[in-house]
Structure 1
Amino acid sequence: MEKGSSARAAGSDHTININKSRRKARMAHCIPLAKVSFAVGAVLGAALPASAQESEAAAERQIDEIVVTARYREESLQDTPLAITALTADALEARGFNELQDIGASVPNAYIRPAHAAYAGAPTIQIRGVGQQDLLFAFEPGVGVYIDDVYHGTLFGSSFDLMDIERVEVLRGPQGTLFGKNSLGGAIRVVSKKPSGSRGGFIEATYGDLDRLEFKGSYDLPLIEDRLFMRVTGVSKHRDGYQDVLDFTCQMIANGTPELAGIGDGLGADGPDADTLPDPVPVGSPEDNAFSFPQYVPAGQGCKLGERGAERLAAGRLMLRFVGNERFEASIAADYTDDEQTPPPSYLVYPQIPLAPGSITTYNANAIYRTYGIRTDIDDRFVTGNPYATYGTFGDPFTGRFLPAVVKFEGWGVQGTIDYDLTDRTHARLITAYREYDGQTVRDDDETPFPINNIFYVIGHEQFSAELQLTGSLIDDRLEWTLGAFYYTADQVQAGEVQLGDLAFLNIVPHFQQNDVFDTENTSAFAHAVFHVTDRLSLTAGLRYTDESKSYGFDHGVFLRIDEPAKAGLSRVDWKAGVDYRFNDAMMVYGQVSTGFRSPGFQPRPFTPIQLLPFDGEELTAYELGFKGDLFDRRLRLNTAAFYSDYSKRFVGGAGARQCSAPTEPSDPVFDPICPPGTFFEGTTGISWPLQVVAPAEVYGFEAELTYRPIDRLTLNATAGYIRFEGEIDDPTQQGYRHPDALVQPEWNASGGIQYAIPLGSAGMLTPRLDWFYQSKMTFGAVTRAPLPEETIPGYSVFNGRVTFEPQEGDWSVAFSVTNLTDKFYYYNLFGNGPTFGGGQKGTPSRPREWAITFQRRF
């Protein structure tokens, strides 16, 4: 190819480039289709420059072109008929985005949030209402995450540090024909900077609130001039937590209410039976105070046992790139990450939320008293009154058995890529990769000092993938085609300890050890083509065949062991068809129809063997219309899209199933609101469990992204997204019903930013930037009923600020940044146990206002 060698020398992705001279020549011709009445073209046509002459000042105001490879070839973002948000390294730095979970704030209809305490180590990643927040391997992600075109197969460990990257591409809507597995909601592509032999790099140091200390660095050098290049990158992070873990008894003494911890309450250990309080004993007597909740920290030492939200991370990457000649190059990359955190902050917002008629709470107050010396249901004494403090300790203080209060991820991977030009118009690429990680996570669902519902997971994952891509062009470059094959296999284990103390009190579910094994294999083949009918009109078509098989081995010891692994799988074909029309060099409209799927599986948390039921995967047909325009002499960029997703099968979530029998008499799940006569829990709601079901549904909405440079050195940007879910089952008593007020993600999200570079004469440049992020209300809890106020997070706005100084002489910069400028308090998410597990509601509190100063030296 004509551009092959230059692309390699620049270190960019080696893909077939659009022949831009061919495209410009086509644009010069007038064709009858240009007379088609597109209203947007008529209105915005006046925004084009009247003359091709551009002054130097005007050129500086123009918005930079961004090159993406979302269709396996280099294209301008504005020439790609897809809904894509592309954030370059400079854009990420200006906004202070350091991790993958940060980018969701700037992407319309993306909902990416830090992990909450129930699924520590696994961020919530959703696009257009499709995603996942549960870390169990029985579920599949709804958004594909790719690191240098290698699929990351699990949600756990997906909060990558964005170190030394070229850009992040967020593709919205089904990407099944090109990306395949689990890209129903979209795909996120992280593209690293490639070695180029530049003998350049950077070092960076950050210090900030909570003893934040970070170091980053990268260096690029030639090992063999013009042939072999190497790039080395590393990062180290440390930051203290932002929530304190308190000693409950110590705090009760400090509050002047020791009787709430069983000290001086006048109750001892003896009584006639478990349902009767013991006889009173003298207040303060040895019999009284000997039977109270243990204390670990003296009241005079602040009552602090530990903290949550702390982080220690070390990661590195080594990349080698060999350029044999103009047709051949190969690269290999290896990376390693060691990430250790304390569990995410979690706060008991409500000890009890209102219960539905007939609901039962399996907390046994007298049993708690017999064990811990406190005669109580879960009440306000366990609410610290400060969202940045909790009594949750991940263990049993009476027996001294505590789960490790740490979340770990240690992983490494290696990948190799070979690029070869078979002909001047045909290119081959082979990508193979192996990745593995080990991790652990812990959860305290009740956020009390009791071991009522504590879980400790040990997680292991190994995956191998290989993808062959052939790209080329025919018919004088009018037909651009891609063929490919993909293979993926993964072995996963999830072990650990589950403490369900609340159910154990009823002798229903004992504490147990789990050792679950999951295996997946996926093989697919795909084809994609773009045919330029005229200079302005293009047609797109794609097909993908997928064959996938899975096995699930559930082993919960004597509690639940399945002799034969449960199996699931599918074979299916997905397709895509699209058309795009260019009014001129600056404006384009497009429309497309595509299908997508998410793999089927099995119920992730069965209580009895009969509850190990399969659930179908998701299937949809998605429709999208979009507009892309660079207006006013390329000083204003406006990209919009409207979409409609028709689900024949969509996950509803917990479908209101309940277990009405005792474990000795397992029964099918009951979907009636009340357990029937003759069952263990007759007349009540029984024990709820999250049976996953699918049902028809519709999701629709729109998105807009705008960048504007009205004057020199001033940049404005804004995004907005709206999404609405509608279920097709209107009967609340029917399986698969979802209440219309139970949101799949916030209906609205928006962002805005303003940045102005202020010249300081010979001193240099000062660039302040202000960012605003907004989301409307979000609901949690049971989806089969209207959400309670206690299950709703109101809409909120967050502001971040950053000021950067760069001297006129010298390759360095210093930046001062503040996140959450107004110290706005909100919850990232809420997590309720429901009546089965005590009825409490927990929330992950937002990070408070934090400052940081960053120094960077480039060389």
Structure 2
Amino acid sequence: MKKNILFLILLGQYTYSQHGIVKDSTKNNQLEEVIVTANKVEQKNVEVPVAVTSISSKGILDSRLVNYSDLTGRIPNYLYQGSGVGFQSINSIRGIQVFSYNPAVSVYVDDVNSLDIMAGGFELTDIDRIEILRGPQSTLFGRNAMGGVINIFTKKPTNKTTGFIELENGNFSLQRYSAGVKFPIIKDKLFFGLNGLFQKRDGFMKNDIKGTTTTDTSLNGRTIGDEENTYGNIFFKWLVNNKLSFTANVKHQRDFSNASGYLVSQKSEKIALETPTVINVARIGTHEREITNYSLTAKYQAQSFELTSITAFQQISFLFRNMDFPGYYESFYRSSIGEKLPTQNVWTQEIRINSAKKENKFQYIAGLYGFKQISYDPTSNLAYELSPSNYVIYRNKRNNSGYAAFGEISYRLFDKLKIIAGIRYDIEERESIFNGFGDAVFVGGVFTQIRPDLEKSVKYNAFSPKASLIYSLNEKSNIYATFTRGFRAGGISSQAVPVGVRQDYDPEYSDNFELGYKTNFWNNRVNLNAAAFAINWQDLQFSNLVAPTTYSMENVGNAYSKGIELEANIIPLKGLQLDFAYSINDAQYKDFDLKRINFISGTQITTPIGGNKLSNAPKTTFYTATQYSIQTSEKVNLLFRIEFRNIGGYYTDIQNSLYQPTYQVVNTRFGLNYDNYGLFLWIKNLTNEHYLFYGSSDTSLRRSSVAAMPSQIGVTLSARF
């Protein structure tokens, strides 16, 4: 049965356009131009010398794209690795990924940067478009964009009054309810927008205490991974005059679970792949995260230039209790086990100016950026339980700040040839207040500081150049060559390390060389993008065990990644939308060794890493599907969609011992729209494929995995006006 289903899907080969703004295929059989903001100004995708995929609002709705994992395979050389909760995850692009607290792929939501991985995981609802830029983007986007950028834009209010209600129910007790409204308060002057979401579902893993330290049989059969999310998004937009505008935005999200998947995993990949619904924990944990983004965007449109200011303030609070890691962990900072950590605060400010006359041969963009962050890393602000009333305390407070100046110019040398050059210079200061193992304890409800906290500060700078040539074959076809450099910030290890071990670590860098071709033809019924790339990844940051229970972040070595990427949209006939994406990636670590200390024997264990495949870098990704829309009457439209994804085998760990074999995922969605109402049935992972959602990045001491969700089925009822 499974083979027959996959065979039928492969006959289809293509799907509804995911790469831009596409008109309703029942009224038009052409693809519209794809508009992206890869260079922080609106441009046609065909004119941008960057590999970028843009998914339109209609594409998001038609494919039910509700989380980042839905991008795996759909975006060439993109892999999402979850760790049990949406706000701690790994985005890998072309094999460039994170092994520390700073992300390697920057995520922006309405121009506000998620500065570290605790700031990720905003719910995807009422989205206007999603852009994924592949390869380093540090010249315009700064730190932590060395793998690429995910740009998410939510819908803004206009003169038109609009609204929606969407109700979803599915297995695993899924409830997902969202609604929104946008309208002008004063036409052509003042606008308001509001949307929100409530989501709740049970985890799919069932607990079995066999092999754990507990005898509490009441924990058997309890689900693990339950989560409840509440999200709200408010906009005010004021058009002061035809030149000046202000947009104020507040986003708030609360993530809660009393059967938490945070820091929880299955004991091995064998268990995760063979019995994905079974987990063994001695305690069932709780977590709660709240994140609030405040932003104010001001734009001034003059005749020859545009001035933009983006001011943002972000707050994050977090707590967790009874995490079985193994060993038992609770959040702690001042006075009580499982307390809410102090609020993380991030201030950012960007001011930029760009040319406004697109017809000029000379174009420019220039700007200044600054940030200040006070953070409390949850993995190093915790209590480790030695006995029910005896804890070792880890503490860490970080004060980080950074400043940058950036600019990019382009000049059309001839009618068909344009040259682009960009530069960015970043200065970053990091300060950390931290302790070591045994420096503080919490015994019998009393906190005792045995040794004073330590302090260390460092300062880094980074130079991020960019150079491109783009040649227009005709009005709808371009070829380009681009060099870009990316960097990921250095830092200070979160625990005190032994004498002789360096406490801080340097930034990472990546140099990307890319050749690309973009075109659309057949009367705008076909879009085709192709890219070839080679990346040198330098000074990889990786966590090393340097003393009992003490890890140090170190620059361990270099790596490379090279490959090709293909994307296409096709409208062969009215109502039929076809699309595919394919990539090949050859990525390896260069010659270096990973060192571990065996504290029982006192000997050093050296593992050669050079020549190993880059972790979380599938050899291939392939996406193909078909969507067909049939207008049966003036008000009734039927829609049928089926997707197929093939993710090539890859290792999750740097030692290349934890392997995820090639797997396939099939998704379907079909139903009808009657006037402004919709009713759809959807299935994710139709064939119930078993594969890993997460695997250990380091298996020298422990193997752990998290299985992907089994088949999900649900119904969506919506109304739009």
TM-score (norm 1): 0.72
Residue 659 (structure 2) pairs with residue 792 (structure 1):
yes
* Contact 2:479/2:517, CA 8 A, preserved across alignment: yes
* The one of 685, 694, 710 aligned to 1:829: 694
Partner of 1:596: 486
After TM superposition, the structure 1 = structure 2 runs for residues 655-694 of structure 1, keeping only pairs within 5 Å, are 659=547, 689=551, 691-694=553-556
Partner of 1:126: 92
Distance 1:79 1:133 in 2: 34
What is the one-letter code of the residue matched to 2:50? L
Distance 1:607 1:525 in 2: 35
What is the one-letter code of the residue matched to 1:499? Y
Partner of 1:670: none
Counterparts in 2 of 1:742 and 1:579: CA distance versus 1, 3 Å: closer
* The one of 555, 561, 564 aligned to 1:699: 561
Alpha-carbon distance, 1:586 to partner = 1.6
Residue 528 (structure 2) pairs with residue 642 (structure 1):
no
* Contact 1:548/1:570, CA 8 A, preserved across alignment: yes
What is the one-letter code of the residue matched to 1:114? G
Partner of 1:316: 232
Alpha-carbon distance, 1:231 to partner = 0.6
Distance 2:638 2:652 in 1: 43
Distance 1:63 1:384 in 2: 41
* Contact 2:589/2:614, CA 8 A, preserved across alignment: no
SS of equivalent residue, structure 1 residue 588 = strand
- Larger CA deviation: 320-329 vs 457-466: 457-466
* The one of 119, 122, 129 aligned to 1:167: 129
Report Cα offsets for 1:447-469 as digits up to 9, x if no partner: 6xxxx364647554210011101
Partner of 2:309: 430
Partner of 2:337: none
Distance 2:697 2:359 in 1: 61
SS of equivalent residue, structure 1 residue 226 = coil
* The one of 93, 102, 105 aligned to 2:73: 105
* Contact 1:516/1:553, CA 8 A, preserved across alignment: yes
Partner of 1:815: 680
* Contact 2:404/2:424, CA 8 A, preserved across alignment: yes
* Contact 1:445/1:833, CA 8 A, preserved across alignment: no
Residue 688 (structure 2) pairs with residue 722 (structure 1):
no
Residue 298 (structure 2) pairs with residue 418 (structure 1):
yes
Distance 1:242 1:414 in 2: 35
* The one of 483, 500, 504 aligned to 2:366: 483
* Contact 1:473/1:479, CA 8 A, preserved across alignment: no
Report Cα offsets for 1:221-264 as digits up to 9, x if no partner: 1111221000111111111121122344xxxxxxxxxxx89xxx
SS of equivalent residue, structure 2 residue 376 = strand
Residue 282 (structure 2) pairs with residue 393 (structure 1):
yes
Bigger share in strand: 2
Counterparts in 2 of 1:743 and 1:717: CA distance versus 1, 3 Å: same
* Contact 1:569/1:599, CA 8 A, preserved across alignment: no
Partner of 2:16: none
Distance 2:205 2:36 in 1: 40
Bigger share in helix: 1
Counterparts in 2 of 1:102 and 1:732: CA distance versus 1, 3 Å: closer
Alpha-carbon distance, 1:180 to partner = 0.9
Distance 1:70 1:487 in 2: 20
Alpha-carbon distance, 1:725 to partner = 2.2
Partner of 1:71: 39
* The one of 377, 402, 426 aligned to 1:546: 426
Residue 223 (structure 2) pairs with residue 343 (structure 1):
no
Report Cα offsets for 1:487-520 as digits up to 9, x if no partner: 111101136434376xx9xxxxx94112210111
Counterparts in 2 of 1:385 and 1:68: CA distance versus 1, 3 Å: closer
Partner of 2:7: none
TM-score (norm 2): 0.85
Residue 102 (structure 2) pairs with residue 140 (structure 1):
yes
Counterparts in 2 of 1:616 and 1:195: CA distance versus 1, 3 Å: same
Structure 1 unaligned regions, length at least 5? 1-55, 249-259, 262-291, 298-302, 354-379, 395-403, 505-509, 664-686
Residue 187 (structure 2) pairs with residue 325 (structure 1):
no
SS of equivalent residue, structure 2 residue 215 = coil
* Contact 2:382/2:395, CA 8 A, preserved across alignment: no
* Contact 2:26/2:631, CA 8 A, preserved across alignment: no
- Larger CA deviation: 75-84 vs 755-764: 755-764
After TM superposition, the structure 1 = structure 2 runs for residues 218-257 of structure 1, keeping only pairs within 5 Å, are 218-248=180-210
How many residues are paired up? 664
> What is the RMSD computed on CA atoms of the aligned residues?
3.1
Alpha-carbon distance, 1:83 to partner = 0.6
Distance 1:142 1:319 in 2: 29
- Larger CA deviation: 730-739 vs 591-600: 730-739
What is the one-letter code of the residue matched to 1:343? S
* The one of 386, 391, 407 aligned to 1:527: 407
After TM superposition, the structure 1 = structure 2 runs for residues 438-449 of structure 1, keeping only pairs within 5 Å, are 438-441=317-320, 444=323
Distance 2:47 2:437 in 1: 57
Partner of 1:628: 518
Alpha-carbon distance, 1:428 to partner = 0.6
Distance 2:321 2:261 in 1: 10
Larger Rg: 1
After TM superposition, the structure 1 = structure 2 runs for residues 721-740 of structure 1, keeping only pairs within 5 Å, are 721-729=583-591, 738-740=609-611
Alpha-carbon distance, 1:761 to partner = 3.8
Alpha-carbon distance, 1:635 to partner = 1.6
Alpha-carbon distance, 1:633 to partner = 2.2
* Contact 2:495/2:552, CA 8 A, preserved across alignment: yes
Residue 499 (structure 2) pairs with residue 499 (structure 1):
no
* Contact 1:318/1:333, CA 8 A, preserved across alignment: yes
* The one of 601, 612, 633 aligned to 1:741: 612
Partner of 2:570: 708
* Contact 1:606/1:612, CA 8 A, preserved across alignment: no
- Larger CA deviation: 754-763 vs 172-181: 754-763
* Contact 1:197/1:230, CA 8 A, preserved across alignment: no
* The one of 289, 299, 306 aligned to 1:409: 289
Counterparts in 2 of 1:133 and 1:751: CA distance versus 1, 3 Å: farther
Residue 614 (structure 2) pairs with residue 614 (structure 1):
no
SS of equivalent residue, structure 1 residue 130 = coil
Alpha-carbon distance, 1:697 to partner = 2.9
Counterparts in 2 of 1:74 and 1:295: CA distance versus 1, 3 Å: closer
Counterparts in 2 of 1:206 and 1:245: CA distance versus 1, 3 Å: same
Distance 2:322 2:501 in 1: 23
SS of equivalent residue, structure 2 residue 573 = coil
Alpha-carbon distance, 1:194 to partner = 1.3
What is the one-letter code of the residue matched to 2:680? A
What is the one-letter code of the residue matched to 1:620? S
Structure 2 unaligned regions, length at least 5? 1-23, 333-339, 441-450, 596-604
Distance 1:129 1:193 in 2: 31
Alpha-carbon distance, 1:328 to partner = 1.0
SS of equivalent residue, structure 1 residue 633 = coil
Distance 1:132 1:389 in 2: 28
Report Cα offsets for 1:472-494 as digits up to 9, x if no partner: 15796111111100011110113
Distance 1:857 1:438 in 2: 35
Report Cα offsets for 1:162-183 as digits up to 9, x if no partner: 1112101111111111111211
* The one of 67, 72, 89 aligned to 2:57: 89
Distance 1:762 1:731 in 2: 67
Report Cα offsets for 1:598-645 as digits up to 9, x if no partner: 111233455646556222211232111100011222222110111111
Identity %: 20
SS of equivalent residue, structure 1 residue 93 = helix
Alpha-carbon distance, 1:88 to partner = 1.0
Counterparts in 2 of 1:845 and 1:648: CA distance versus 1, 3 Å: closer
Counterparts in 2 of 1:774 and 1:568: CA distance versus 1, 3 Å: farther
SS of equivalent residue, structure 1 residue 156 = helix
Report Cα offsets for 1:533-553 as digits up to 9, x if no partner: 222111101111111100121
Partner of 2:29: 61
